[in-house]
Structure 1
Amino acid sequence: MFSIKTALLGGVMAVALAMPALAQSADDLGKTLTPMGAIKAANADGSIPEWTGGITKPPAGWTPGTIEIDPYADDKVKFTITAANMAQYEDKLPEGLKALLKQYPSYKMNVYPTHRSASYPKRIYDETIANAKRAKLVDGGNGVEGAKEGVPFPIPKEGVEAVWNHLLRYRGEGTERMVGQVNPQTDGSYTLIMLHEQVKYLYSAPGGTTTNNSLYFLQEVTSPARLAGEILLVHETINQVKEPRSAWTYNPGQRRVRRAPNVAYDNPGTASDGLRTTDNFDIFSGAPDRYDWKLIGRKEMYVPYNAYKLHSKSVKYDDIVKPNHINQDLARYELHRVWVVEATLKAGTSHIYAKRRFYIDEDSWQIVVADHLDARGQMWRVAESHGINYYSVPAYWSTLDALYDLQSGRYTAIGLDNQEAPYKFDVKYSDADFSPDSLRRAGVR
């Protein structure tokens, strides 16, 4: 087992010294900083280019209503990181990815040229800039007030502010998708679990939310037959200490809708075989109140990015799902600046993860890698979010999330969509579509 007690201390110091402190204020947004708070300029050697707006025009050949095509298909691998040569790159590797390289000889990282593809509508940029002067933390960081539509803290001063940026980042206003989830055995065998998911993003809508609710989430298992018909409804709140998330489940065997207060924190995630927690969904979701959050700093790191190969219609699920980890020939890594945030479990609270570390992309506020440590200080689980720019929104968001359990040698992955209809980002929902009564109606169809 890969212990990182010493590595964490050294890693913290390396991150803290990685970049000079920059005097940044809200007035820098849209100038030396992007509207989302990222450093606009290239890095010293140009390996991270200047941000010039991201993908503002879809590549030739793509039409709305079809799956996103790869705008960087002609890129060649610059180099490959393996266990044999990882020491050359260790200052730019998240600790969790080092652990994966050490544990699995077949795990590798193909590094490509960096493209800062993340882009968002002008409304989101404008509101993010405005949030920089009006958003504030409340209840000890467990809630946010004064913000709407854009990320609340484009210039974070605290770790929990960066996490709120991930939680409230823009992913459209109403989405619908059919995706697969797998929990492979150590030999790579798996059962495909299909999930139909619908989301109404209240916080991101024009004008924002007038309540404490940030989004409504509806998820139905459509296959295999033994799980089909199970439905989960969640009303996510911004301040979950003041007002915990509301959740309901429909069980087809009982034909009943029940309150589900345990759909939170470290309770097992839906159909995950116990390989992820509820708050591992979307890498991290839910209330931040059980951890003390520390903003370590901004650092250049090799992380998964622009995963159009994993998203391709030419790729089948069997091509992706392999023993121990997904097919790394399909994964793409680039050098990006990320915010590093460390979470330490508060005294007197409980969670199976004693410490977590998040690597958050500066351009999108998407968590791209996450380390999870157990109570012994050993690396337990490692998450990777493989994202793309969805042209019709536009927004940078995950196409596949994988969470690796180093102790069991297994993993869970969610977001398989290659053989499904493209995501819909323009669905118009009413609040009634996400009521417990609608759950009952859906359950008896």
Structure 2
Amino acid sequence: MVSRGTRIVWKVAGVGALVMSIGLFAVTARAGVKPGDVITPQNAAQVKDLVSPGVYYMVTHGMQMNVVPSERIDWPPPYKDATEKYSSQVRLTDDHRSLIGYVAGQPFPLIDTNDPQVGNKIMWNNVFRPISTDDYDLRFFDCQIEYVNPGHEQKIINDIQVGHYAGYDLVGRTEVEPMPVDPDFKKTGRLWLFGLYPLLAPQEARGQGLIRYRYAAPKQGDDTWSWNPGSRRVRRLNESLNSTATGAQSFDPDHYSGFNPKTEEYNYKFLGEKEMLAVVHARHSPEVTCSTDGGASACPEDWEMRHMYIVEATPNRDIGQAGNVLDKDTVVYMDSEVWFEPYVDGYDQKGALWRTNIFWAAYRDRPVPDAKVAIYPFKREFIVGSARYDVQSGFATMCYLPGQNTPERECWYINMGAVDKDFFTTQSMVKAAP
């Protein structure tokens, strides 16, 4: 068990101290590893201060890292243009919880680490990410559930296959009409729509699905519906089943795509910035199953030094059912160039590390090398693998995006108009059930 005391908090005072700190972090980090190094459990101590406690747990339990030179990531040009056009008019509300004046692009492109509200601003940048602004449809992906098992063959407990993991944004659109705001936003106040359906495997869950709506109103919770073909029933879910801020446990859609809860349901504390290892130029797609940790992760994969912002997110106890929350807090590690979190650690009520989520990303103009449809005029980030670990039980779920055994290879369709609002209805979810 990893205690909360293993966390490092970085504090800087003044511009001069900030510059010195950044320089020190870079020197210290690069002194630990260099391109060409291969990190295994035997030399894991080299990266202990260069990854989160959750990632370090995985390295000590068999996940191999190949250290490679760092490379630059550019935003999609339409997102960059929208940031330049609209960001100057964006500000936080007086209570620092919500946004005023946001249209499209990144809300706060200039991050001042001495700003008392820097944590809130980083997390609002996380809401409106460059990785996807309009719509996305991930078709046919696989998740395998097993235990972290160093040095042993993979023993799959459950193999999950899903038809669609899709989303539609109504605000901040930069590539597909209607832009920059869908007119439906003024009628419904919906910020985005999400759909996960139909489940194709295992057989006992075949046809199940989930629809979720996020609203812009700070105090309006999400609307979520599930479909169970066995009972032939659409069920409306209580918000406490969806959010780590209100009590979610193993079923946790707030961590399906990084850290993605309703922003106003958390309080944020900026812990600092640091050079750390992450995967943003993944070599493989589909990802490879790690043979040295029982198949619990993707390895070996290319890890490079990245500049990270670290923010602690604590559930706001004054909202909803946050008094029942199981996670005491969450530490988010945000890549300051990609603006997606390569890993997120969650701590239990005793302050011990409980669960970690790791994301493997690739930067290219197509999700797979042999793509014939999902091809873009510029490079963009694709999440090609994600994993969730309960470090206290050793339970793991490793997802392959695209899947290793799927009927369609391309899988990721981002900002291509692949889904519209009609996809995110209970009628469409029920109809799609095989």
Question: Which deviates more from structure 2 when the two are superposed, residues 130-139 or residues 295-304?
Answer: 130-139
Post-superposition offset of 1:323: 1.9
Is contact 1:119-1:389 (8 Å) kept? no
> Quick one: structure 1 residues 390 and 261, their matched pair in 2 at CA, closer, same or farther if it must change by over 3 Å?
farther
Post-superposition offset of 1:183: 1.6
2:352 corresponds to = 378
Question: Which deviates more from structure 2 when the two are superposed, residues 88-97 or residues 364-373?
Answer: 88-97
Counterparts of 1:207 and 1:283 in 2: how far apart (Å)? 24
Could you report, residue by residue, the CA deviation over 1:94-116 in whole angstroms, capped at 9, with x for unpaired residues? 233333344x2x23322111112
Tell me the secondary structure at the aligned position of residue 363 of structure 1. coil
Q: Which runs of 5+ in 1 are unaligned?
A: 23-38, 49-75
1:323 corresponds to = 294
Counterparts of 1:402 and 1:321 in 2: how far apart (Å)? 15
Question: Which aligned segments of 4 or more residues in structure 1 are displaced greater than 6 angstroms?
Answer: 14-19
Is contact 1:16-1:296 (8 Å) kept? no
1:26 corresponds to = none
Q: 1:228 aligns with which of 199, 203, 206?
A: 206
2:277 corresponds to = 302
Is contact 1:256-1:440 (8 Å) kept? no
Tell me the secondary structure at the aligned position of residue 75 of structure 2. coil
Is contact 1:217-1:234 (8 Å) kept? yes
Is contact 1:18-1:299 (8 Å) kept? no
What is the count of residue pairs matched by the alignment? 382
Q: Report whether the alignment pairs 1:81 with 2:54.
A: no
1:98 corresponds to = 56
Post-superposition offset of 1:291: 2.8
Is contact 2:11-2:272 (8 Å) kept? no
> Quick one: structure 1 residues 435 and 259, their matched pair in 2 at CA, closer, same or farther if it must change by over 3 Å?
same
Question: Which deviates more from structure 2 when the two are superposed, residues 139-148 or residues 382-391?
Answer: 139-148
Is contact 1:366-1:397 (8 Å) kept? no
2:371 corresponds to = none
Tell me the secondary structure at the aligned position of residue 334 of structure 2. strand
2:413 corresponds to = 424
Post-superposition offset of 1:84: 4.5
Counterparts of 2:35 and 2:346 in 1: how far apart (Å)? 29
Tell me the secondary structure at the aligned position of residue 21 of structure 1. helix
> Quick one: structure 1 residues 261 and 413, their matched pair in 2 at CA, closer, same or farther if it must change by over 3 Å?
same
1:132 corresponds to = 87
Counterparts of 2:15 and 2:349 in 1: how far apart (Å)? 28
Q: 1:207 aligns with which of 180, 197, 214?
A: 180
Q: Write the mapping of 1:115-264 to structure 2, written as runs, cut at 5 A.
A: 115-116=71-72, 118-138=73-93, 140-156=95-111, 157=115, 158-170=118-130, 171-177=132-138, 178-185=140-147, 188-190=154-156, 191-195=158-162, 196-205=164-173, 206-210=179-183, 211=185, 212-220=189-197, 221-239=199-217, 241-262=218-239, 263-264=241-242
Post-superposition offset of 1:226: 0.9
Counterparts of 1:302 and 1:87 in 2: how far apart (Å)? 14
Letter of the 1:148 partner, please give it: V
Counterparts of 1:44 and 1:232 in 2: how far apart (Å)? 43
> Quick one: structure 1 residues 440 and 419, their matched pair in 2 at CA, closer, same or farther if it must change by over 3 Å?
closer
2:388 corresponds to = 403
1:55 corresponds to = none
> Quick one: structure 1 residues 213 and 308, their matched pair in 2 at CA, closer, same or farther if it must change by over 3 Å?
farther
Letter of the 2:421 partner, please give it: D
Is contact 1:174-1:429 (8 Å) kept? yes
> What TM-score do you get using the length of structure 1 for normalisation?
0.76
Q: Which runs of 5+ in 2 are unaligned?
A: 174-178, 366-374
Could you report, residue by residue, the CA deviation over 1:173-220 in whole angstroms, capped at 9, with x for unpaired residues? 232222111221455322321112232222242213452323222211
Q: 1:439 aligns with which of 421, 429, 434?
A: 429
Tell me the secondary structure at the aligned position of residue 244 of structure 1. coil
Is contact 2:383-2:401 (8 Å) kept? no
Is contact 2:2-2:53 (8 Å) kept? no
Q: Report whether the alignment pairs 1:364 with 2:338.
A: yes
Counterparts of 1:140 and 1:413 in 2: how far apart (Å)? 39
Counterparts of 1:321 and 1:173 in 2: how far apart (Å)? 38
Q: Write the mapping of 1:31-110 to structure 2, written as runs, cut at 5 A.
A: 78-102=36-60, 104=61, 106-110=62-66
Tell me the secondary structure at the aligned position of residue 370 of structure 1. strand
Is contact 2:137-2:418 (8 Å) kept? no
Tell me the secondary structure at the aligned position of residue 71 of structure 2. coil
Counterparts of 1:345 and 1:255 in 2: how far apart (Å)? 35
> Quick one: structure 1 residues 413 and 238, their matched pair in 2 at CA, closer, same or farther if it must change by over 3 Å?
farther
Counterparts of 2:59 and 2:26 in 1: how far apart (Å)? 28
Tell me the secondary structure at the aligned position of residue 333 of structure 1. strand
Is contact 1:268-1:278 (8 Å) kept? no
> Quick one: structure 1 residues 17 and 89, their matched pair in 2 at CA, closer, same or farther if it must change by over 3 Å?
farther
How much identity, in percent, do the aligned residues show? 22
RMSD: 3.2
Post-superposition offset of 1:223: 1.7
Post-superposition offset of 1:130: 3.5
